[in-house]
Structure 1
Amino acid sequence: MYSPQKLHPIAYLGSVVNAFRNLWIPLIIVFFNQRETIMSGNISLTWIVAVAGIFLLLVILFGGLDFINKYRTRFWIEDGKFVYKDGILTRREKEFDIERIQSIDFSEPIFHRLFKAVKLQVFTPGEGIVIDTMKKTQAEALQSIIYDEQEKIAQNKKDVENVRVGDASAWPREAGAASDAPVEAQPKRNFEVLHRLKRGELLLMSMTSGALGAFVAIIFAVLNIIGAQFIVERYIDYFGTIFQNSMIALSVAAIFFVVVGYSIGVLILYIKYHDYTLYKKDDDLAVEYGLLEKKHKSVNIKRVQNIIIRDSLLRRMIGYYSLSVTITSDTFEGEDTSSTVEVMPFIKRDTLYGIIEEILPNYEVIKPESSVPLRGYRRYFQISTLSLILITALVQYFLLSWGWILGLAALGITIAAGVYAARNNGYAITGDEINMLTTGFFTRNHFVIKHDKVIEGRITENPFLIRSKLANISVTTAAGIVGSTATVRFIERRDIDIIWDWIKEGGGRNEENLSESDQTMED
């Protein structure tokens, strides 16, 4: 790794594959638009040759340029830096200070796994790089060397800090001095397993993680390519031939879509998060998961900006949560540009606290009580309610005579979601730490933030809130371009002042908890 390294030989074949992958959508659109002519057989040989020739020319052009770029790509470690160089006519070189590298991730798509190759992503707080495709042994060696280099740098800094001004060693050095004694090599610590998802938990997680949404997202992506109207009409017409009543046919088609879509979505999530495992080595965490595409993500504990504990109403009823941490990263490199790293996507409450105490002992997780007064409850659903009433009236008048039934059901759900949000918005301050509980649609996000990680505080209010002595407050930590923000809404103005004073003055005074709370999360 200390001399220039080349990419995996399969990367050159990947250039051709990438060219086909970039051109297959336009090719499908051309054939789909000309499907009637092609199916009728009324097509000339000249047209076929012309289309094939243009397609091959584009493949050679795009694939050839990518091939040359990958052939000239080199990477190595030199003088405490990770160096990456590529380019065809103009050579580009990036240098990453090893001390500032906070994440070394690699993934193994199914095609790469056949040839023992991986995609590597190296991120620092300011930028990052993606290397596609390198040998798995290279990636593991690079990751190990960078971790070792970071440990040496940290140890050297600690030794320097321990040296006092005026200290000196005897001269001439005496024989048999301690400094002449051979230094025992410290055994290298390997990653140890902290937690692994069981198969039953993995299945339960997949069933409660928006499986239908994952399926619908894929379906919409396909429909956008080949045309939604054509597929939807054929789908509904099929059930129309089975059932004479159009309402029954439409209902069965909808139920069938939901059931099949949910089942496929569960399968997709099960495959994606298969064998999810959390590892720890000194100050580094790593997660590994995936059946077809195996992913490996890492994060340094010292670079964590905040903790986020998430749950939904359904998961909360069965006692499961998810644990994520936010790191600083403002790069657009890679497929996943999010600064939030999911440490455990599905974990029991009791195990959750043990994991946090193990990996982040300096954080104290406290569940805040609701800080929203009764006069603030209606503000969580009043705008949504008014919009829903207007939409229901339009649907009732122009489309469906029984639209009011759907509107009434949606209204009840909206009000219930608003009350749920109001009952689960709050904060708790202890020393240099703030716990903030925010909500979505029957979901909760529990942020745990240290004062020295806060980069921005913001109060938002309007004349109506001022008259009611309510306001919203947001606390932001570094994370990507826009940061990671926790917002508590419609709380008392005196609570806003308490949080604002904490942001300005900081913690560390060991004051009493400024918001009464329990030491565990609510069941």
Structure 2
Amino acid sequence: MNCGTIFPEWQVWRKKMSEPKRLHPIAVLLNIIKSIKELVIPFLLVVVIPGKNEGIPGWIQPLVISIIILFIIGNAFLQWVRFTYRIEDGEFRIESGVFVRKKRYIKFDRIHSIDISEGIIQRIFSLVKLNIETAGGSQADAVLSAISKSDAGRINAFISEGKNANNPFDKDKDEVADNEYAAKSSSVFKQTLPQLFVMAATSGAVGVFLSGAIAFISQFDEMIPFERIFKDYEDFIEMGTIILTVFALLALLVVYVLATLSMVIKYASFTVIKTDEEIVISRGLLEKRQLTIPIHKIQGIRIMENLIRKPLGLATVYIEYAGGSMEDKESLSIMLFPLIRKRHLHEKILEILPVYETASEMTPIPKRALSRYVFRKFLYFIPIIGALIWFFRPWGYLSLLLVPLAIFWAYMQYRDAGWSIEGNLLLLSSRFFSKQTLIMHRSRIQSITYKKSWFQNRKELATISASIKSGITSRVGMVADVEEKDCLIIKSWYLPKKAVDSQ
């Protein structure tokens, strides 16, 4: 690589970035779409339900709609005009606000991650959206909704270089060129299309998809004549439960297929690339997204195995890191491996995050803890069973089938509970519905809590929990009914580093 050629171009770009820049004009359209999304329900109430406005002159409605449209367009344009960004003195500076001018200066060393995504509109114009996030906030600290791919790449590289140097402006030109244009990187994980279909089919996304569809339809219950529809289908319903059952199964199948396809589209081309100091995760078919995570900000690793994947030897792996925003739920826990075989897991973790690699066996909880797991499940199920039998006799007696289900659920939780210590790593494993294994480095653990109830004390058991930072909150790993002496081992392992809460 010719550093002498690259460096002058880099210096020219640096000078340009110190001057205020606006977003691409297509940002006006993006602002309009964002405003419409926020006003969609009130807008539909005005447009679609004119019958609710009896006594109001007919010209009022078009006038109100016109005013709303003009306001949205005008506000979107002014937001674009008044929004500028620049890089100066080791800071990313943004000025925005139509009426009240807001200035935000973000120091490079406070930036935790950079998220680059391409929506459908951005892709049409060869643009990207860039989010800059600092330590866990309620929203992204800086959002550039429409900039060129080259500018996004340079901003990313410039911030990365600035974060790793005391004075990024005085570095030797050859070193700058080498750091920014020839950084060593390697692709360490890529999800294949067949694996994506398996991941989507076993993800349980159908429940989320179905609940989202129901929530959406419920917003329009006044517009859709459900009573008339149901009345028209009374004859159809009388044809019998078999047809209704087939119809319901077909509907669920359609929802299942749609949910599976949506997951495949969302995580298509999923790739993990590692550099010396960062992990870059990219994915998406319709909306491409690239997230850059500094390795030193990673707080732990979470391994999830649901009821379908665990028997198949499959798992999903997440990164817990001190970043993300509440507006973007997906950035709070970053998916590192959407689907991976357990036998390949240690090899891949060693390749990407060697500090979290472990092959130690989990220490199970004692057999005398099983009765406590069963007892807790009976506390949940007995009131439900009693109510069903009381109010729905004789069919309510079928609820007694929940008893073996409760016992099986309790056994699954008991079997998957455990802990392990290997060097500076603490592993806590538990299950609610899915099995969770949280791998935490001692230096990243915020606190460890060790407590026992009167009932636990009788059996010399206790509950141990540990928390690490995840986004603006914490991720907690907890194992109930651990051998009390094992809790003391974990406590003594952690005590030299941090204070331990004991209750």
What's the CA shift for 1:340?
Answer: 1.6
Structure 1 length normalisation: TM-score? 0.82
| Contact 1:278-1:288 within 8 A present in 2 as well | yes
2:420 matches 1:428: yes
CA distance, structure 1, for counterparts of residue 112 and residue 227 of structure 2: 50
Deviations 1:62-87 (A, max 9, x none): 54334323311111211222222212
Contact 1:202-1:273 within 8 A present in 2 as well: yes
* Mapped partners of 1:184, 1:58: distance in 2: 50
The AA in structure 2 aligned to 1:283 is E
What residue in structure 1 maps to residue 14 of structure 2?
A: none
1:216, 1:228 → 2: CA distance?
20
Matched-pair contact (CA < 8 Å) for 1:239–1:253: no
**Structure 1: which amino acid aligns with 2:242?**
I
- 1:147 Cα deviation from its structure 2 partner: 2.1
Change (3 A) 1:326 1:183: closer
* Cα separation, partners in 2 of 1:230 and 1:86, compared to 1, 3 Å: closer
User: What SS class does the counterpart of residue 436 from structure 2 fall into?
Assistant: strand
CA distance 1:255–1:412, change in 2 (3 Å)? farther
Preserved CA contact (<8 Å) 1:101 1:125: yes
Q: Which residue of 1 aligns with 2:102?
A: 92
- Give the match for residue 310 of structure 1: 304
Letter in 2 for 1:389: I
CA offsets per residue over residues 435-473 of structure 1, 9 Å max, x none?
Answer: 1112121x2111111111111112233222222322211
Closer/same/farther in 2, CA of residues 371 and 231 from structure 1, 3 Å limit: farther
What is the alpha-carbon distance in structure 2 between the residues aligned to residue 370 and residue 402 of structure 1?
A: 44
Residue 491 of structure 2 corresponds to residue 480 of structure 1: no
Deviation per CA, 1:300-325: give whole Å up to 9, x if none.
11111111111123212222211211
Aligned to 2:195: 201
1:53 equivalent in structure 2? 63
Contact 1:239 1:252 in 2 (8 A): no
Distance 1:391 1:229 in 2: 36
Residue type of the alignment partner of 1:201: Q
Q: Pairwise mapping of residues 203-352 of structure 1 onto structure 2 (< 5 A)?
A: 203-227=197-221, 241-242=235-236, 244-329=238-323, 331-332=325-326, 334-336=327-329, 338-352=331-345
Structure 1 residue matching 2:130: 3-state secondary structure: strand
| Equivalent residue, structure 2, for 1:15 | 31
- 1:196 maps to amino acid: K
The equivalences for 1:142-221 within 5 A come to 142-153=155-166, 186=178, 188-189=182-183, 191-221=185-215
Aligned pairs for 1:410-425 within 5 A: 410-425=402-417
Is 1:458 aligned to 2:449, yes or no? yes
Paired amino acid for 2:22? K
Q: Is the 8 A contact 2:444 2:468 kept in 1?
A: yes
Taking a change above 3 Å as real, the CA distance of residues 29 and 322 of structure 1, as seen in their structure-2 partners, is same
Residue 316 of structure 2 aligns to a residue in which SS? strand
Contact 1:306 1:450 in 2 (8 A): yes
Instruction: Give the number of equivalent residue pairs.
Output: 476
Are positions 1:396 and 2:392 aligned together? no
| Inter-partner Cα distance in structure 1 for 2:425 and 2:323 | 22
Inter-partner Cα distance in structure 2 for 1:304 and 1:316: 26
Q: Which moved more, 1:421-430 or 1:111-120?
A: 111-120
More off after superposition, 450-459 vs 246-255: 246-255
d(CA) in 2 for partners of 1:267, 1:237: 34
Structure 1 Cα separation of the partners of residues 289 and 131 of structure 2: 11
Q: Is the 8 A contact 1:239 1:249 kept in 2?
A: no
* Gaps in structure 2 of 5+ consecutive residues: 1-16, 499-503
- The residue aligned with 1:377 is 370
User: Which amino acid counterpart does residue 106 of structure 1 have in structure 2?
Assistant: I
Shift of 1:284: 0.9
What is the letter of the counterpart of residue 326 of structure 1?
Answer: E
**Contact 2:186–2:273 at 8 Å: present in 1 too?**
yes
Which residues of structure 1 form unaligned runs of 5+?
A: 160-178, 508-523
Partner SS for 1:7: coil
| Equivalence for 1:77 | 87
Of the structure 1 ranges 476-485 and 26-35, higher mean CA displacement relative to structure 2 is found in: 26-35
Calculate percent identity across the aligned residue pairs. 25
- Tell me the alpha carbon deviations over residues 211-270 of structure 1, each in whole angstroms, 9 at most, x when there is no partner: 321321321221231129967767766775445355435433432332221111111111
SS at match of 1:505: coil
Distance 2:167 2:407 in 1: 53
Matched-pair contact (CA < 8 Å) for 1:208–1:315: yes
Q: Distance in 2 between matches of 1:66 and 1:183?
A: 42
Distance of aligned partners of 1:217 and 1:236 in 2 relative to their CA distance in 1, 3 Å threshold = same
The answer to whether the 8 A contact 2:325-2:331 is kept is: no
In the alignment, the residues of structure 1 paired with residue 244 and residue 411 of structure 2 have an alpha-carbon distance, to the nearest angstrom, of 34
Cα distance, 1:151 vs structure 2: 4.1
Of residues 184-193 and 384-393 in structure 1, the stretch that sits farther from structure 2 once superposed is 184-193
Residue 420 of structure 1 aligns with an amino acid whose one-letter code is: M
- Of 68, 85, 102, the match for 2:78: 68
Q: Aligned partners of 1:31 and 1:183: how far apart in 2?
A: 61
Q: Contact 1:369 / 1:424 at 8 angstroms: preserved in 2?
A: no
* Residues 5-61 of structure 1: CA deviation (Å, up to 9, x unaligned): 2111011122332332222212323456556x89xxxx88x6442122223323333
Give the TM-score normalised by the residue count of structure 2: 0.85
Give the 3 Å change call, closer, same or farther, for CA 184–271 of structure 1 in structure 2.
closer
Superposition deviation, residue 196 in structure 1: 1.2
Structure 1 segment 488-507 matched on structure 2, within 5 A: 488-506=479-497
Give the deviation of 1:153 after TM superposition. Answer: 4.6
Return the match for 1:353 from 315, 322, 346. 346
Separation in 1 of the partners of 2:223 and 2:485?
55
- Structure 1 counterpart of 2:158, which letter? I
SS at match of 1:313: coil
Does structure 1 retain, via aligned residues, the 8 Å contact 2:463–2:478? yes
Identify if the C-alpha distance between structure 1 residues 415 and 210 changes in structure 2 by more than 3 Å, giving closer, same or farther.
Answer: same
**Partners of 2:325 and 2:332 within 8 A in 1:** no
Deviations 1:133-175, CA, capped at 9 Å, x for gaps:
222322222112222333445999xx9xxxxxxxxxxxxxxxx
Q: Which segment drifts farther, 239-248 or 271-280?
A: 239-248
CA separation in 2, counterparts of 1:34 and 1:195? Answer: 55
**334-343 or 303-312: bigger deviation:** 334-343
Distance 1:488 1:65, change over 3 A: same
